Chains A and B, each alone.
Chain A
Amino acid sequence: MYLLRAVLLAGLLAPAAAVAADYVGSNVCKTCHPDVWANFYRNPHFKSVASGKEAPENTGCESCHGPGKAHVEARGGKATIIAFSQLSAEKTLDACLRCHSQTMSRANIRRSTHTQQDVVCSTCHSIHKSPAPKFLLAKAQTDLCYGCHSSVRAQFSMPFKHRVNEGTVQCTDCHNPHGAFDPTWRAATRPRMVEQSQANEEACLKCHIDKRGPFVYEHGSVRVEGCETCHSPHGSMNARLLRRPVTLTLCLECHNGQGTFGSFGPKFNSGVQKPPSDHNLADPRYRNCTSCHVRIHGSNTSEFFFR
């Protein structure tokens, strides 16, 4: 027990190992790095310098790169200072989270899929070379995401898509690249990294306000399994981002009355209700389900979403 306490205490005191005298101040740094310093006032991190109230370990260059005394005495060199190009992914994360863990939106960064795959802060953010001061992204957001998510880029090249390439919608409108809380739909395990609308609803409802409900008659699959049951959210070759080119098969693949799917009460206790016998699907009028079932996302007046 004493050993454990000693280890914990040593760990807690570790940051204090660098004494104040080891910090030389940003004015010394700019002597050799004038190009970085010249535009640093545009950098959000300049706040720590402008403030004038921060401790040396939280001010300017040394707040990220560590005490510079040894670096100055050695006349430079990556071995004598914290150089992010030399850091492992987890060390980079540790360094940034010293200050940037203070936001609810980053509360899950340690367990996010990105972190698990070594995609950490410096993968997307460029502190000194960012073309835009807001968020200090290394590139435009779509380019950053497409860099790894090629299949998503392919989906946004399809004829029907959310207008991400056009600039109206951003990846971060729906996703939290720093890690999200578990989804509140499906089985609460997948999809990961999806941000939630309002306090806990599916991200789609952030914009598609009319689909939120509540309705007297909910379309069960929408609420239980989410919008992806019928739609491909990134992009699709089919109109309205549907998973099938026509509603005919889209609906009937679930509404086939088979198995024990769904839970529709004593009237339809065997599978998801299939079209009744008066729906003669040999007649084309019955092949466009949403022509009659117009309120397919939910209705207040019709059990069958007619109005």
Chain B
Amino acid sequence: MKKIIILLISGIVYAQPPVAPTTGEQVGDPRGENTGEYNIRNSFELGYRFATAGGDFDMYRSTVNYTDGIRLLSSSLSIQSRDGHGRWFDSLQLNTQGLGNDPYESATLRVEKNRLYRYDMIWRLNDYYNPSLTIANGEHFKSTSRIWQDHDLTLFPQSNLKFFLGYSRNEENGPALTTIQLFDFRGDTFPLFADVRRQQNEYRVGGEINFLGFRLNVLRGWEDFKEDTPTDILASTAAFRIGIDGNAVPLGEPGDNGLNTLNAYHSSQPYHGTSPYWRVGLFREGKRFYAVNARFTYVAGSRNFIDNEVSGGSTTSGAPATRQILVFGDARRPAANGNLNVTLFPASFFTITNQTTVNNIRMQGNALFSEIDNGVAITPFIPFTLLGIRTIANGTDAELRYKKRFSVHTGYHYSDRRIQVIDGQQNAGLPAPAPPNNIPITQFNHQHAGTLGVRIRPVAGLTILADGEIGRADAPYTPISDRNYTVFRARAEYKRKTWRASVYEKTDYNTNSVSLTSYASRSRNFGADASWTPNDWFAIDAGYTKLHLNTLGGLDFFAAGQATQFNSLYISNIHTASLGARFSIAKKADVFVGYSHSQDVGDGRSTADGLPLGAGTATVLDPFRAVQTFPLKFVSPEARLSVRIHRQLRWNVGYQYYGYNEQFTNFQDFHAHTGYSSLLWSF
């Protein structure tokens, strides 16, 4: 029992979850109550959560989002048949978290009867709030709720012939703000209100049969998706320009003549479709000589849509403008994928694996685009697009082991990718235009990578892992894609009965030359953590991680009519530290204290070029330099006390502080005090 407690305690302090619900502290009889043919264990944690926030409440909601109120912080119900022959089920396990009004709620249920069925359900809710101020200056606000549910029923789970039935539902609803730019290239950006309404339903049916030692698994699924998100004007004459400091620039500011207006707007964009799919798998564990599996998948996605957009206002020159855009069409994406993986064990100390993958995905769409500007129809046109990606990859890995002390593994991976693009259009009612408009543009991309690694156990409890990968690719798709990359990882862990310590290091360098400059990214991670659980009433865990990233890229753009080239050097140095300690007092009370600290020190400057963000506008390049390092700090200490007041009852109280501090500006800083008090009742 002591070992079990130590195991539980050591697990508690690794992560730092939110202060509530209470985790780990047990109450009640661990053996449960016997009722008829079942054994039952049940617990509820009911309490009140409080939260106060100062500073930018929007950012608080975006990152933390807890609010006041009564919550069923957690509950657990476990019913087990004592002889494995329950009438309707042998095992039932129900867990909930955050029910009541927490922004993060979930429930899981598993019910099964031996040899007959197994049913799994997961239900989740996530209230999502994001002002996203640093991204698009507040226009792309979102306050939506996403609810997922997954249901899976397996019939005859232990037999040679089993069946699967599944259903999943994913909904997102809520208000949002988006933007549109009208009526000409120099027009302003106008905020729009969007009523987000998205829904996905997925149905699955399948089976698995065992024959000749092979297992054949077949799954057929249908995914239906629909989005009906209307957008409307937020307010008339709501034109504004966008300032990089996060504020909208009002009308009448220098550079804005105030003539560009939007007085009426409505857009309806129903977007419906289905993605039926097949998955066929064949696999076998060939005793101790080989393992082989093959999989084929096919997804045939299609979507139909209409966009009806009506707007009225005035152009940047003040001329009245009305516009109606009507687009309808469809898009399709068949995607096929095949895998063949073979693992051979020629000897007990030697393993060799070969994997082959073939992917072929083709996205294509067409539509009829018609537009009426100020009562004059432009010639409708039909765009036709295609993006095809075909990838063939093969890799071989080998591992050689010498007893438990040493092993070495190496591998070679090759990938051949073809990307094909057609980006064409034709005027409605006319023949297809002459080439080159509809000629496919094809690009080939090859990648070779080699890996080498060792694992050493020089003494009992100590494990050292080190491996590296070197890859070379030609014609990468984007300037930041893998081209000449080198990855090195090392990890050492020393584990004893009551404590463990580990250090790790990972570097990931990628260099991708372009004519303007060399794009290069250098990521270096280092971490160390340790935990100590000397007895059943004390445990401590601490960890530190440094995540360094610097990238050098080339920017090429126009500014004030001049072509401008600029080397973009982004530097991020993120230090994170965590500490958790837990101890018991006289077996009556448990105390947990924790601290989490994340800080990006950037390149060492507290402001960009010594100037607050947005202030450096003396030259065109100043704003670019200003966003190359973003120092900020996010800290969260917490403490929790759990007191056993009865054999079946615990009283818990906790407090957690959140502090968010941007050191380049303080528009979004916040601090928050959250906490809870609850009773954990078990019976």
Task: List residues of chain A with CB under 8 Å of any chain B CB.
Answer: 8, 11-12, 35, 38-39, 41-42, 44, 46-47, 49-51, 88-90, 94, 97, 101-102, 104, 107-108, 110-111, 116-118, 126, 129, 131-134, 138-140, 142-144, 146-148, 150-151, 153-155, 157-160, 163, 165-169, 181-182, 184, 186-190, 198-201, 207, 209-210, 212-218, 220-221, 223-225, 229, 237-240, 242, 244-249, 252-254, 256-267, 269, 271-272, 274-285, 287-288, 290-292, 294, 300-301, 303, 306-307
CB distance from A156 to the nearest CB of B (A): 8
What would 17 more interface pairs be, CB under 8 Å, given A158-B574, A264-B423?
A: A104-B295, A116-B399, A118-B407, A154-B576, A189-B393, A189-B413, A189-B449, A200-B359, A213-B363, A221-B477, A221-B478, A238-B134, A253-B555, A265-B423, A278-B558, A281-B559, A291-B137
B242 CB–A CB distance under 8 Å: yes
Stretch at the interface among B46-54, B332-340, B640-648: B332-340
Query: Counting CB contacts under 8 A, is B585 at the interface?
Result: no
Tell me the B554-595 residues at the A interface (CB within 8 Å): 554-561, 563-564, 568, 570, 572, 574, 576, 578
Q: Which residues of A contact B136 (CB under 8 A)?
A: 247, 288, 290-291
* A182 pairs with B357, CB closer than 8 A: yes
Interchain nearest-CB distance for A139 vs B (Å):
3
Find out whether the CB atom of A167 lies under 8 angstroms from the CB atom of B634: no
CA of A168 to CA of B85, assembled, Å: 34
Chain A residues within an 8 Å CB radius of B447: 187, 189
Contact B180 A275 (CB under 8 A): no
Is B537 an interface position by the 8 A CB rule? no
Task: Name the A residues within 8 Å of B559 (CB-CB).
Answer: 280-282
Partner of B301, one of A41, A110, A213: A213
The answer to whether A284 and B478 have CB atoms under 8 Å apart is no
Name A111's closest neighbour in chain B (CB-CB). B353
Residue of B nearest to A7 (CB): B289
Q: How far is the CB of B355 from chain A (nearest CB, A)?
A: 6
25 cross-chain CB contacts under 8 A? A47-B90, A50-B114, A89-B404, A107-B293, A131-B8, A133-B80, A134-B110, A143-B15, A159-B634, A168-B104, A188-B393, A200-B277, A200-B279, A200-B337, A215-B365, A253-B519, A271-B479, A272-B478, A279-B557, A281-B557, A284-B241, A285-B241, A291-B139, A291-B181, A291-B189
B124-132, B372-380, B674-682: which lies at the interface: B124-132
Is there contact, CB below 8 Å, between A46 and B327?
no
Contact, CB under 8 Å: B576 / A207: no
Q: How many residues of B contact A (CB 8 A)?
A: 224
Tell me if B234 counts as interface (CB < 8 A to partner A). no
The reply to whether A245 and B341 form a contact with Cβ atoms under 8 Å apart is no
With A and B bound together, what is the CA distance between A142 and B221 in angstroms? 30
Q: How far is the CA of A88 from the CA of B404 in the complex (A)?
A: 6
How far does the alpha carbon of A281 sit from the alpha carbon of B367 in the complex, in Å?
A: 32
CB distance from B57 to the nearest CB of A (A): 15
Interface string of B417-456 (1 = CB under 8 A from A): 1011111100000000000110101110101010001010
CA separation between A262 and B481, bound complex, in Å?
11
The listed residue (A142, A169, A263) touching B421 by CB distance below 8 A is A263
Contact for B383 among A102, A166, A216, A260, CB less than 8 A: A216
State whether B93 touches A150 (Cβ < 8 A). no
CB within 8 Å of A: which of B1-52? 1, 3-4, 7-8, 10-12, 14-18, 23, 31, 39
Minimum CB distance partner of B527 in chain A: A150
Residue in B81, B132, B397, B568 whose beta carbon sits within 8 Å of that of A253 in the complex: B568
Residues of A with C-beta under 8 A to B8: 131, 139
Once bound together, how far apart are the Cα atoms of A246 and B662, in whole Å?
A: 14
CA distance in complex: A79, B261 (Å) = 85
| Contact residues in A for B630 (Cβ distance below 8 Å) | 237-238, 245
A144, chain B: closest CB distance, angstroms: 8
- Measured CA separation A265–B421 after assembly (Å): 7
Beyond A50-B83, A189-B449, A258-B516, whether A38 also contacts B198 by CB under 8 A is no
User: In whole angstroms, how far apart are the Cα atoms of A263 and B478 in the complex?
Assistant: 10
**Within 8 Å of chain A (Cβ to Cβ): is B91?**
yes
Contact A50 B15 (CB under 8 A): no
Rounded to whole Å, the gap between the CB of B56 and the closest CB of chain A is 12
| CA gap between A90 and B351 in the complex, in Å | 11
Instruction: Note all chain A residues with C-beta closer than 8 A to B423.
Output: 264-265, 267, 303
- Please name all residues of chain B whose beta carbon is closer than 8 Å to the beta carbon of A248 when the two chains form the complex: 244, 623-624, 627
- A11-B289, A301-B325 known; A217 and B365 CB under 8 Å? yes
A300: B residues at CB distance < 8 A = 269, 271, 303, 305, 307, 327, 329, 331, 365, 367
Assess whether A129 is in contact with B4, with CB atoms less than 8 Å apart: yes
What separation, in Å, do the CA atoms of A55 and B203 have in the docked complex?
37
Structural contact, B172 and A210, CB atoms closer than 8 A: yes
Chain B residues with CB under 8 Å of A151's CB are: 504, 506, 525, 527, 545, 547
The minimal Cβ–Cβ distance linking B570 to chain A, given in whole angstroms, is 7
For chain B, residues 595 to 643, give those with C-beta under 8 angstroms from any C-beta of chain A.
596, 598, 600, 620, 623-624, 627-628, 630, 632, 634, 636
Q: Are B627 and A246 in contact (CB under 8 A)?
A: yes
Docked CA distance A220–B422 (Å)? 12
Once the chains bind, are B477 and A165 in contact (CB under 8 Å)? no
Chain B residues lying within 8 Å of A148, measured Cβ to Cβ, are 491, 493, 502
Is residue B369 contacting chain A, with contact meaning CB distance below 8 A? Answer: yes
A142 x B293 contact (CB < 8 A): no
Bound complex: CA A284 to CA B481 (Å) = 28
Q: Which residue of B307, B529, B660 contacts A159 across the interface (Cβ within 8 Å)?
A: B660
Q: Which of B17, B215, B327, B528 contacts A301, CB < 8 Å?
A: B327
Residues in A neighbouring B475, C-beta threshold 8 A: 260
**B445 contacts A187, C-beta separation under 8 Å:** yes
* Cα distance, A199 to B440, chains bound together (Å): 28
Which residues from chain A contact B325 at a C-beta distance below 8 Å? 301, 307
Residues of chain B lying within 8 A (CB to CB) of residue A240: 130, 132, 135
B557 x A252 contact (CB < 8 A): yes
Q: Which residues of the other chain, B, contact A284 by a CB distance below 8 angstroms? A: 241-244, 249, 623
Whether B479 pairs with A187 at a CB distance below 8 angstroms is no
Residue pair A41, B632 in contact (C-beta under 8 Å): no
Asked whether B227 is an interface residue with its Cβ less than 8 Å from the other chain, the reply is yes
Q: Contact at B293–A266, with CB atoms within 8 Å?
A: no
B462 within 8 A of partner (CB): no
A111 to chain B, nearest CB (A): 4
Cβ–Cβ contact A11 & B18, under 8 A: no
Cβ of B365: which chain A residues have Cβ within 8 Å of it? 214-217, 300
User: B274 to chain A: closest CB distance in Å?
Assistant: 11
> Is B484 interfacial (CB-CB < 8 Å)?
no
CB-based contact B63/A242 at 8 Å:
no
Chain A residues whose CB sits within 8 angstroms of the CB of B14 once the complex forms: 139, 142-143, 146-147, 153
Given A188-B357, A249-B627, are A213 and B556 neighbors across the interface (CB < 8 Å)?
no
**Contact present for B357 and A181 (CB under 8 Å):** yes
Interface centre among A42, A51, A199, A294 (most CB of B within 10 A): A199
